[in-house]
A and B are shown apart, each in its own frame.
Chain A
Protein backbone atom coordinates (compact mmCIF):
# COMPACT_ATOMS: atom_id res chain seq x y z
CA UNK A 1 0.00 0.00 0.00
CA UNK A 2 0.98 3.56 -0.58
CA UNK A 3 0.10 6.49 1.60
CA UNK A 4 -0.97 9.68 -0.12
CA UNK A 5 -0.80 12.86 1.93
CA UNK A 6 -3.14 15.56 0.66
CA UNK A 7 -3.00 19.17 1.83
CA UNK A 8 -5.93 21.48 1.04
CA UNK A 9 -5.48 25.18 1.69
CA UNK A 10 -7.39 28.37 0.96
CA UNK A 11 -6.22 30.39 -2.01
CA UNK A 12 -4.24 33.47 -0.98
CA UNK A 13 -7.12 35.77 -1.96
CA UNK A 14 -9.54 34.05 0.45
CA UNK A 15 -10.01 35.43 3.95
CA UNK A 16 -9.42 32.78 6.62
CA UNK A 17 -11.26 33.96 9.77
CA UNK A 18 -10.32 30.79 11.69
CA UNK A 19 -6.63 31.30 10.95
CA UNK A 20 -7.01 34.94 12.04
CA UNK A 21 -8.57 33.86 15.36
CA UNK A 22 -5.74 31.37 15.95
CA UNK A 23 -3.19 34.06 15.14
CA UNK A 24 -4.75 36.41 17.70
CA UNK A 25 -4.53 33.67 20.33
CA UNK A 26 -0.87 33.08 19.43
CA UNK A 27 -0.21 36.80 19.84
CA UNK A 28 -2.01 36.54 23.17
CA UNK A 29 0.54 33.87 24.16
CA UNK A 30 3.22 36.48 23.56
CA UNK A 31 4.52 35.22 20.21
CA UNK A 32 4.26 38.54 18.49
CA UNK A 33 6.76 37.59 15.78
CA UNK A 34 4.10 35.38 14.18
CA UNK A 35 2.90 37.35 11.18
CA UNK A 36 0.23 35.12 9.71
CA UNK A 37 -1.50 31.78 10.28
CA UNK A 38 -3.58 30.05 7.62
CA UNK A 39 -5.64 26.97 8.47
CA UNK A 40 -6.00 24.11 6.03
CA UNK A 41 -7.01 20.46 5.86
CA UNK A 42 -4.83 17.36 5.78
CA UNK A 43 -5.86 13.92 4.51
CA UNK A 44 -4.09 10.56 4.63
CA UNK A 45 -5.28 8.26 1.87
CA UNK A 46 -4.11 4.63 1.72
CA UNK A 47 -4.25 3.28 -1.78
CA UNK A 48 -2.73 0.64 -4.06
CA UNK A 49 0.22 2.63 -5.34
CA UNK A 50 0.87 0.22 -8.21
CA UNK A 51 -2.43 0.99 -9.91
CA UNK A 52 -1.68 2.72 -13.23
CA UNK A 53 -4.41 5.33 -12.63
CA UNK A 54 -3.52 6.12 -9.03
CA UNK A 55 -2.28 9.65 -9.69
CA UNK A 56 -5.22 10.49 -11.88
CA UNK A 57 -7.60 8.99 -9.28
CA UNK A 58 -6.15 11.10 -6.48
CA UNK A 59 -6.45 14.25 -8.58
CA UNK A 60 -10.07 13.45 -9.42
CA UNK A 61 -10.85 12.90 -5.72
CA UNK A 62 -9.21 16.23 -4.88
CA UNK A 63 -10.87 18.15 -7.70
CA UNK A 64 -14.34 16.75 -7.15
CA UNK A 65 -14.52 16.36 -3.38
CA UNK A 66 -11.60 17.23 -1.12
CA UNK A 67 -11.04 20.74 -2.48
CA UNK A 68 -13.39 23.36 -3.88
CA UNK A 69 -11.48 24.98 -6.76
CA UNK A 70 -13.45 28.21 -6.27
CA UNK A 71 -11.60 28.94 -3.05
CA UNK A 72 -9.06 26.22 -2.35
CA UNK A 73 -5.95 24.66 -3.83
CA UNK A 74 -4.33 21.35 -2.96
CA UNK A 75 -1.05 19.51 -3.21
CA UNK A 76 -0.26 15.87 -2.53
CA UNK A 77 2.68 13.56 -2.02
CA UNK A 78 3.13 9.81 -2.20
CA UNK A 79 4.85 8.06 0.70
CA UNK A 80 5.71 4.36 0.51
CA UNK A 81 4.08 2.60 3.43
CA UNK A 82 7.45 1.26 4.72
CA UNK A 83 8.31 4.85 5.55
CA UNK A 84 5.02 5.45 7.37
Chain B
Protein backbone atom coordinates (compact mmCIF):
# COMPACT_ATOMS: atom_id res chain seq x y z
CA UNK B 1 0.00 0.00 0.00
CA UNK B 2 1.34 3.41 -0.96
CA UNK B 3 0.75 6.46 1.24
CA UNK B 4 1.23 10.15 0.46
CA UNK B 5 2.06 12.58 3.27
CA UNK B 6 1.36 16.14 2.10
CA UNK B 7 3.85 18.76 3.26
CA UNK B 8 2.71 22.38 3.52
CA UNK B 9 4.91 25.29 4.55
CA UNK B 10 4.70 25.01 8.35
CA UNK B 11 3.71 21.35 8.59
CA UNK B 12 5.68 19.80 11.45
CA UNK B 13 4.29 16.27 11.94
CA UNK B 14 4.98 15.12 8.38
CA UNK B 15 8.04 13.10 9.35
CA UNK B 16 6.23 11.48 12.27
CA UNK B 17 3.57 10.31 9.83
CA UNK B 18 6.22 9.20 7.37
CA UNK B 19 7.79 6.96 10.02
CA UNK B 20 4.38 5.73 11.22
CA UNK B 21 3.96 4.22 7.76
CA UNK B 22 7.58 3.27 7.04
CA UNK B 23 8.46 1.78 10.43
CA UNK B 24 5.06 1.39 12.08
CA UNK B 25 3.31 -0.69 9.42
CA UNK B 26 6.27 -1.07 7.02
CA UNK B 27 4.50 0.16 3.90
CA UNK B 28 5.51 2.49 1.10
CA UNK B 29 5.29 6.24 1.81
CA UNK B 30 6.32 9.47 0.10
CA UNK B 31 6.35 13.10 1.20
CA UNK B 32 4.40 15.14 -1.38
CA UNK B 33 4.95 18.88 -1.70
CA UNK B 34 1.89 21.15 -1.48
CA UNK B 35 2.69 22.54 -4.92
CA UNK B 36 2.13 19.20 -6.61
CA UNK B 37 -1.18 18.78 -8.42
CA UNK B 38 -1.53 15.00 -8.61
CA UNK B 39 -1.76 12.08 -6.20
CA UNK B 40 -1.96 9.46 -8.94
CA UNK B 41 -0.56 6.12 -7.82
CA UNK B 42 -1.24 6.66 -4.11
CA UNK B 43 -3.72 4.53 -2.18
CA UNK B 44 -4.17 6.93 0.73
CA UNK B 45 -3.31 10.51 1.64
CA UNK B 46 -2.30 11.78 5.07
CA UNK B 47 -2.46 15.47 6.00
CA UNK B 48 -0.11 16.17 8.90
CA UNK B 49 -0.27 18.43 11.92
CA UNK B 50 1.64 21.65 12.30
CA UNK B 51 1.00 25.30 11.58
CA UNK B 52 0.56 25.57 7.83
CA UNK B 53 1.18 29.18 6.75
CA UNK B 54 1.72 30.06 10.41
CA UNK B 55 -2.05 29.69 11.03
CA UNK B 56 -2.41 33.10 9.34
CA UNK B 57 -6.02 34.16 8.73
CA UNK B 58 -7.43 30.93 10.30
CA UNK B 59 -5.84 27.55 10.93
CA UNK B 60 -5.85 25.67 7.62
CA UNK B 61 -7.49 28.49 5.63
CA UNK B 62 -4.59 29.31 3.32
CA UNK B 63 -3.50 25.67 2.93
CA UNK B 64 -7.06 25.05 1.76
CA UNK B 65 -6.21 26.91 -1.44
CA UNK B 66 -2.89 25.16 -2.19
CA UNK B 67 -2.31 23.48 -5.58
CA UNK B 68 -2.47 19.96 -4.06
CA UNK B 69 -6.02 20.43 -2.68
CA UNK B 70 -7.99 19.37 -5.80
CA UNK B 71 -6.01 16.11 -5.85
CA UNK B 72 -6.92 15.49 -2.19
CA UNK B 73 -10.59 16.14 -2.99
CA UNK B 74 -10.33 13.71 -5.89
CA UNK B 75 -8.88 10.99 -3.61
CA UNK B 76 -11.81 11.58 -1.24
CA UNK B 77 -14.33 11.39 -4.10
CA UNK B 78 -12.78 8.10 -5.26
CA UNK B 79 -13.39 6.62 -1.81
CA UNK B 80 -9.71 6.34 -0.91
CA UNK B 81 -8.69 6.95 2.70
CA UNK B 82 -7.97 10.60 3.54
CA UNK B 83 -6.70 11.21 7.08
CA UNK B 84 -6.12 14.68 8.52
CA UNK B 85 -4.53 15.02 11.93
CA UNK B 86 -4.61 18.23 13.98
CA UNK B 87 -3.83 20.98 11.42
CA UNK B 88 -4.80 18.33 8.84
CA UNK B 89 -8.27 18.16 10.46
CA UNK B 90 -8.50 21.95 10.35
CA UNK B 91 -7.62 21.89 6.63
CA UNK B 92 -10.25 19.18 5.92
CA UNK B 93 -12.97 21.33 7.51
CA UNK B 94 -11.75 24.41 5.62
CA UNK B 95 -12.01 22.64 2.25
CA UNK B 96 -15.43 21.24 3.06
CA UNK B 97 -14.52 17.55 3.13
CA UNK B 98 -15.66 17.51 6.76
CA UNK B 99 -18.41 19.61 8.39
CA UNK B 100 -17.92 22.15 11.18
CA UNK B 101 -14.84 24.12 12.18
CA UNK B 102 -12.04 24.14 14.76
CA UNK B 103 -11.89 27.29 16.85
CA UNK B 104 -9.73 28.45 19.76
CA UNK B 105 -9.75 26.28 22.87
CA UNK B 106 -12.37 27.73 25.20
CA UNK B 107 -9.75 28.28 27.94
CA UNK B 108 -7.36 30.09 25.55
CA UNK B 109 -4.43 27.78 26.38
CA UNK B 110 -2.41 25.45 24.21
CA UNK B 111 -2.84 21.89 25.51
CA UNK B 112 -0.13 19.29 25.15
CA UNK B 113 -0.78 16.01 26.95
CA UNK B 114 -1.82 12.42 26.43
CA UNK B 115 -5.58 12.05 26.85
CA UNK B 116 -7.98 9.11 26.83
CA UNK B 117 -10.24 8.88 23.78
CA UNK B 118 -13.24 6.68 23.32
CA UNK B 119 -13.61 4.90 19.98
CA UNK B 120 -17.21 5.78 19.02
CA UNK B 121 -17.29 3.95 15.71
CA UNK B 122 -15.04 0.97 15.03
CA UNK B 123 -16.80 0.21 11.73
CA UNK B 124 -14.61 2.54 9.65
CA UNK B 125 -11.50 1.77 7.67
CA UNK B 126 -9.52 3.87 10.16
CA UNK B 127 -10.78 2.24 13.35
CA UNK B 128 -11.70 -1.36 12.58
CA UNK B 129 -8.78 -2.81 14.56
CA UNK B 130 -10.06 -1.17 17.75
CA UNK B 131 -12.71 -2.72 19.97
CA UNK B 132 -16.12 -1.07 20.09
CA UNK B 133 -16.07 1.71 22.74
CA UNK B 134 -12.40 1.01 23.46
CA UNK B 135 -10.63 3.78 25.35
CA UNK B 136 -7.22 4.60 23.90
CA UNK B 137 -4.44 6.95 25.02
CA UNK B 138 -3.43 9.44 22.33
CA UNK B 139 -1.51 12.73 22.70
CA UNK B 140 -3.11 16.08 21.87
CA UNK B 141 -1.17 19.26 21.08
CA UNK B 142 -3.30 22.16 19.96
CA UNK B 143 -4.47 25.70 20.68
CA UNK B 144 -7.39 25.60 18.24
CA UNK B 145 -8.98 22.20 18.71
CA UNK B 146 -12.38 23.31 19.91
CA UNK B 147 -14.70 21.52 17.49
CA UNK B 148 -17.75 23.59 16.60
CA UNK B 149 -20.79 22.77 14.53
CA UNK B 150 -24.41 23.84 14.70
CA UNK B 151 -27.20 21.70 16.18
CA UNK B 152 -28.40 20.41 12.81
CA UNK B 153 -24.89 19.30 11.84
CA UNK B 154 -24.37 17.60 15.20
CA UNK B 155 -27.60 15.66 14.73
CA UNK B 156 -26.45 14.61 11.27
CA UNK B 157 -23.06 13.50 12.65
CA UNK B 158 -24.83 11.36 15.26
CA UNK B 159 -27.47 9.96 12.89
CA UNK B 160 -24.81 8.87 10.40
CA UNK B 161 -22.33 7.51 12.98
CA UNK B 162 -19.77 10.07 11.85
CA UNK B 163 -18.30 10.71 15.30
CA UNK B 164 -15.17 8.55 15.38
CA UNK B 165 -13.55 9.62 18.67
CA UNK B 166 -14.64 11.50 21.75
CA UNK B 167 -12.63 12.94 24.65
CA UNK B 168 -13.52 11.60 28.07
CA UNK B 169 -13.65 15.10 29.55
CA UNK B 170 -14.14 18.66 28.33
CA UNK B 171 -10.52 19.49 27.45
CA UNK B 172 -11.06 22.32 24.95
CA UNK B 173 -14.76 23.18 24.66
CA UNK B 174 -15.55 20.88 21.73
CA UNK B 175 -19.22 20.27 20.99
CA UNK B 176 -20.23 16.91 22.49
CA UNK B 177 -16.53 16.26 23.46
CA UNK B 178 -15.83 15.49 19.77
CA UNK B 179 -12.18 14.64 19.02
CA UNK B 180 -12.54 13.20 15.52
CA UNK B 181 -15.18 12.82 12.81
CA UNK B 182 -15.56 11.15 9.44
CA UNK B 183 -17.50 12.14 6.36
CA UNK B 184 -20.75 10.29 5.63
CA UNK B 185 -18.96 7.80 3.40
CA UNK B 186 -16.43 7.11 6.23
CA UNK B 187 -13.36 7.41 3.98
CA UNK B 188 -12.31 10.85 5.27
CA UNK B 189 -11.27 11.13 8.93
CA UNK B 190 -10.20 14.28 10.74
CA UNK B 191 -9.01 14.23 14.33
CA UNK B 192 -7.20 16.62 16.66
CA UNK B 193 -5.24 13.95 18.65
CA UNK B 194 -2.02 12.55 17.17
CA UNK B 195 -2.04 8.75 16.62
CA UNK B 196 1.34 9.06 14.86
CA UNK B 197 2.84 10.10 18.21
CA UNK B 198 1.56 6.96 19.93
CA UNK B 199 3.30 4.11 18.13
CA UNK B 200 5.57 2.75 20.86
CA UNK B 201 5.05 2.03 24.55
CA UNK B 202 8.48 3.58 25.11
CA UNK B 203 7.00 7.03 24.38
CA UNK B 204 3.92 6.47 26.52
CA UNK B 205 1.40 4.67 24.32
CA UNK B 206 1.23 2.48 21.23
CA UNK B 207 -2.53 2.89 20.85
CA UNK B 208 -2.11 4.88 17.63
CA UNK B 209 -0.58 1.98 15.74
CA UNK B 210 -3.94 0.25 15.28
CA UNK B 211 -5.22 3.18 13.24
CA UNK B 212 -2.54 2.67 10.62
CA UNK B 213 -2.99 -1.10 10.81
CA UNK B 214 -6.73 -0.59 10.22
CA UNK B 215 -6.12 1.49 7.08
CA UNK B 216 -3.72 -1.16 5.76
CA UNK B 217 -5.95 -4.14 6.57
CA UNK B 218 -9.01 -2.58 4.95
CA UNK B 219 -7.02 -1.68 1.87
CA UNK B 220 -5.66 -5.25 1.56
CA UNK B 221 -9.17 -6.66 2.05
CA UNK B 222 -10.41 -4.48 -0.81
CA UNK B 223 -7.49 -5.42 -3.05
CA UNK B 224 -7.93 -9.14 -2.36
CA UNK B 225 -11.66 -9.11 -2.97
Contacts and interface: CB of A to CB of B under 8 A. Distances in A.
Interface of A: 13-18, 20-21, 41, 64-66, 68, 70-71
Nearest to A10: B103
A41 B61 CA distance: 14
Q: Interface SS of chain B: helix, strand, loop or mixed?
A: loop
A71 B57 contact: no
B174 to A, nearest CB: 11
Contacts of B101: 68, 70-71
A23 B214 CA distance: 47
Contacts of A71: 101, 103, 148
Contact of A17 (B62, B99, B106): B106
B108 interface: yes
A68 B100 CA distance: 10
Contacts of B108: 17-18, 20-21
Interface string B148-163: 1110000000000000
B105 interface: yes
A66 to B, nearest CB: 7
A18 B104 CA distance: 8
Interface residues of B, number: 21
Contact of B93 (A21, A66, A70): A70
Contacts of A70: 93, 99-101, 148-149
A11 B97 CA distance: 22
A33 B99 CA distance: 38
Given A17-B106, A70-B148, 17 more contacts: A14-B103, A14-B148, A15-B106, A16-B104, A17-B105, A17-B107, A17-B108, A18-B108, A20-B108, A21-B108, A41-B57, A65-B61, A65-B65, A68-B94, A70-B99, A70-B100, A70-B101
18 contacts: A14-B103, A15-B103, A15-B106, A17-B106, A17-B107, A18-B108, A21-B108, A41-B57, A64-B65, A65-B65, A66-B57, A68-B58, A68-B61, A68-B94, A68-B101, A70-B99, A70-B148, A71-B101
A41 B55 CA distance: 14
B70 interface: no
A66 B148 CA distance: 18
Interface in B61-113: 61-62, 65, 93-94, 99-101, 103-108
B173 interface: yes
A17 B58 contact: no
In this complex, the member of B58, B61, B108 whose beta carbon has the largest number of chain A beta carbons within 10 angstroms is B58
Contacts of A68: 58, 61, 94, 101
A14 to B, nearest CB: 7
A58 to B, nearest CB: 16
